[in-house]
Chains A and B, each alone.
Chain A
Amino acid sequence: MLQEIILAGFGGQGVMSMGQLLAYAGMEEDKQVSWIPSYGPEMRGGTANCSVTISDVSVSSPLISEPDTLIVLNRPSLEKFEQDIKPGGLLLINSSLVDRDPLRKDLRILKIPADDLANEKFGNTRVANMILLGAFVAITKAVSLDSVVGALKKVLPEYRHNLIPLNRQALELGAELASGA
């Protein structure tokens, strides 16, 4: 198994922590993982992004130019990375904030109005990222949902641990939506 993922969105949408959760979860499952953020003031396209690799064998290059999966939380991210996805790859779209359809026809595409759902179900748009992450995990099974939930403890600072149940619910909602899709 080798799963290369690019996660992208605006700064503040929790893109970096989504990636870290995945990497942690993979590590806890004894898989080989890497996580690379974009850093510095972002100049191209207004996006923050990170790349995560989860693999059964050691990660040759942590740098991803052709991801198996792209998860986009906003429109500029779709515009920036859509053409890079591997043919037949997975594209997960936060349709609450992406108001156009992808151009590629050779992908598996799932649109989830994550911000709207987060607001409706949990009254908190900050867990939109977890809904998307739950969907990703359900579709690819790159890691288990339990591992991601377990990783919340590592990624969230101690004073935020009260938010773990909420995050778990959002992850589960995403997984459910993806299974139904």
Chain B
Amino acid sequence: MITVFERPKSLTPAKTHYCPGCTHGIIHRLVAEVIDELDVREDTIGIAPVGCSVLAYNYFNLDMQEAAHGRAPAVATGIKRVHPDKVVFTYQGDGDLAAIGTAEIIHAAARGEKITTIFVNNAIYGMTGGQMAPTTLVGQEATTAPSGRNAETQGYPVRMSEILATIQGTAYIARVSVHNPQEVAKAKKAIKKAFQIQLERKGFALVEVLSTCPTNWGLTPLAAMKWLQENMIPYYPLGVQKTPEEVEV
């Protein structure tokens, strides 16, 4: 018998707590596959955030640290400075990275910390119950924006990748999506690149992954994929925001 599909070594056999149709599972898998393919599982330290992926330390078969809300880039900085030869990555959601942890991510990027950040943007707070995120679209409903986000009083969603791409210390910034197999394949390529950048010590690397939250969006998983494509991508355009080549110019 030929094995054609198996669990990456960098994932534990634990069953995840993610809701049906949530794309965290896909993104976890992509990160794990990349770590396996680069053969760095035994040299990698991951940092779990606060948010839906708070328990990521149970799912990655790696050394992991759990950070306080938003502080993963600071924790990663501490680890990387102690072990500059190890691979250090943070896995953060939009509330964690783009609201409470804005200072930490901006300054980790500004210092050019040689870490990799996987930024999962699903435009909502999942774990705490569907509250408005810094990335919630204008008009999008949330439990703390029951009539939809009102730009007048609640402002506009933040495009973190664009902001981070303007910072000199960043080497690689890309936005990808996982709403169909083609995009999943592209997402994996970007994640791999973001880890390679770290291995080559080129600077800070981040991949923003547009993700769905069927539960809090109030949609079926399939409808959620469609909603992402039709609503999020126009505001959060996919593609590479910055590559090392650009840095070197």
State if A and B touch, Cβ cutoff 8 Å. no
Contact surface of A with B, Cβ cutoff 8 Å: none
Contact surface of B with A, Cβ cutoff 8 Å: none
